[in-house]
Amino acid sequence: MKKSVFFGALTAATLTAGLAGAATLDDVKSRGELICGVNTGLVGFAAPDANGNWSGFDVAVCQAVAAAVLGDPSKVKYVPTSGQTRFTALGSGEVDLLARNTTWTFSRDTDLKLQFTATNYYDGQGFMVRKDSGVTSAKELDGASICIQTGTTTELNLADYFKANNMSYQPITVDSNAEGEQQFLAGACDAYTTDASGLAATRAAFANPSDYVILPEIISKEPLAPAVRQGDDQWTDIVRWTVFALIGAEEYGVTSANIDELAKGTDNPEVNRLLGTEGDLGAMIGLDKDWAVKAIKANGNYGEIFAATIGEQTPIGLARGLNAQWTQGGLMYAPPFR
């Protein structure tokens, strides 16, 4: 969630429309490789293992797009970007796609000339406190010292929230998540605040997770979405509909286990159109007929990716919550494939 006003302005000032040129699809195809901007390391979302292989929730988006476009989910070059460099990396054409837990905001969409494709995770900012402090609601945090990462939207959200509720707080600024955990464990602050997904992972990694509680209040909206450059509508459509294909596949019950069976043709016309056995949706975005089949085969549908990287079976243990299908009371809603 890092955001630097200076670099935002810099990006906007120097990024001229059309500089990066259109036809990212042709570039990717001729290169034979998708260049994907990812986080330098965020538990569950993007992390390289001991052999340098990347995996995670954001990484799965890169792999699905690579599979849809190039037919091979492994043809991705991961470019780790920091909070400061991510938008420039995208704007200057260094990366084709930014799948880096980036919040969709008005100014980023318009002023920074990004194109957010489709929200793939609805996050929000929360608080964690020690259980023995007896605090059960964020409303009781008046006068508390709070550990917070500098230069992030979370810092601004925190100020807004306390101002709106007419409370005071003492910020203890830290540079990174690891440092924040260290300060919080050492008792330097009463509460630690960051995105709820990060809080859950942090708490799960503590030596005694049960000594800490995450407060129920979520004080901000953080829709995280893969972003591309403005000015290349075809590429935007490809990334957007690849994400929708993963979400839609879960809704229609298409999984990596049964997709080969379903790709032979089903009674459901919507599934047939998605998987390319009926009509030719792929041609409309410049891809093969079976683009969605390849994308879903990469890591499974949205639900499978969620469960494998950050879901309740993983140590991070995030519930679906807002990220459930709309049919299950969540916000994941893929427009119709027709």
Partner 1 sequence: MSDTQAHSVAYVRDTMLPQQPAPAGQSGAVQWLRENLFSGWLNTLLTLLGVALIYTLVMHFLPWFLHGVWDANSIKECRTIITDRYGEGATGACWAVIRERWHQFIFGFYPPELYWRPILTFLLLFVAVGPLLFTWVPRVLAWFTPVYPFLAVWLLWGGSGWTPVMIFAGFVLGAAILLLLSPRLGSIMAFSIGAFVAILYFLFVVGPLIGGLQAILPWGLESVDSAKFGGFLLAITLGVGGIMMSLPLGIVLALGRQSDMPLVKGFSVVFIEFIRGVPLITLLFVASLLLNYFLPPGTNFDIILRVMILVTFFAAAYIAEVIRGGLAALPRGQYEAADALGLDYWKAQRLIILPQALKISIPGIVSTFIGMFKDTTLVVFVGLFDPLKGIPDFIRADFNWKGIYWEPFIFVGAIFFILNFAMSRYSMSLERRLQRDNH
Contact 272, 265 (CB under 8 A): yes
Residue closer to partner 1 by CB (options 123, 181) is 181
Task: Decide if residue 93 touches partner 1 (CB under 8 A).
Answer: yes
Contact 194, 79 (CB under 8 A): no
Task: Decide if residue 315 touches partner 1 (CB under 8 A).
Answer: yes
Task: Decide if residue 132 touches partner 1 (CB under 8 A).
Answer: no
Please state the closest distance from residue 176 (CB atom) to partner 1, in A.
7
Which residues in the 190-209 window bind partner 1 by CB under 8 A?
201-202, 204-207
Half-sphere exposure of 10 (CA within 13 A, CB side): 12
Backbone dihedral angles phi then psi of residue 26, each to the nearest 5 degrees:
-65, -40
Please state the closest distance from residue 43 (CB atom) to partner 1, in A.
5
Task: Decide if residue 332 touches partner 1 (CB under 8 A).
Answer: no
Q: What is the distance between the alpha carbons of residues 282 and 267, in angstroms, rounded to a whole number?
A: 20
CA angle 56, 57, 61 (to 5 degrees): 110
Task: Decide if residue 21 touches partner 1 (CB under 8 A).
Answer: yes
Task: Decide if residue 80 touches partner 1 (CB under 8 A).
Answer: yes
Considering only 28, 64, 79, 135, the residue that binds partner 1 (CB under 8 A) is 79
What number of other Cβ atoms are within 10 A of residue 192's Cβ?
29
Task: Decide if residue 7 touches partner 1 (CB under 8 A).
Answer: yes
Candidates 146-154, 171-179, 189-197, 224-232: pick the segment binding partner 1 (CB under 8 A).
171-179
Task: Decide if residue 15 touches partner 1 (CB under 8 A).
Answer: yes
Please state the closest distance from residue 291 (CB atom) to partner 1, in A.
26
> Measured between alpha carbons, how far is residue 278 from residues 100, 130, 228, 337 in Å?
34, 56, 29, 11
Task: Decide if residue 49 touches partner 1 (CB under 8 A).
Answer: yes
Residue closer to partner 1 by CB (options 279, 317) is 317
Considering only 170, 176, 327, 328, the residue that binds partner 1 (CB under 8 A) is 176
116, with CB counted inside 10 A (0-12, 13-18, 19+), is buried
DSSP helix/strand/coil, 12: helix
Considering only 72, 94, 140, 290, the residue that binds partner 1 (CB under 8 A) is 94
Half-sphere exposure of 278 (CA within 13 A, CB side): 13
> Measured between alpha carbons, how far is residue 84 from residues 65, 156, 180, 320 in Å?
25, 17, 19, 30
Contact 222, 153 (CB under 8 A): yes
Contact 333, 324 (CB under 8 A): no
DSSP helix/strand/coil, 177: helix
Considering only 34, 42, 146, 332, the residue that binds partner 1 (CB under 8 A) is 42
Task: Decide if residue 31 touches partner 1 (CB under 8 A).
Answer: no
Task: Decide if residue 81 touches partner 1 (CB under 8 A).
Answer: yes
- Closest C-alpha among 162, 182, 180 to residue 172: 180
Please state the closest distance from residue 188 (CB atom) to partner 1, in A.
14
Please state the closest distance from residue 40 (CB atom) to partner 1, in A.
6
Contact 222, 236 (CB under 8 A): no
Task: Decide if residue 84 touches partner 1 (CB under 8 A).
Answer: yes
Candidates 82-90, 101-109, 246-254, 260-268: pick the segment binding partner 1 (CB under 8 A).
82-90
Task: Decide if residue 150 touches partner 1 (CB under 8 A).
Answer: no
Please state the closest distance from residue 132 (CB atom) to partner 1, in A.
16
Interacting residue ranges for partner 1, rule: CB under 8 A: 7, 10, 14-15, 19-21, 39-44, 46-52, 77-82, 84-85, 88-89, 92-94, 176-178, 181-182, 201-202, 204-207, 314-316
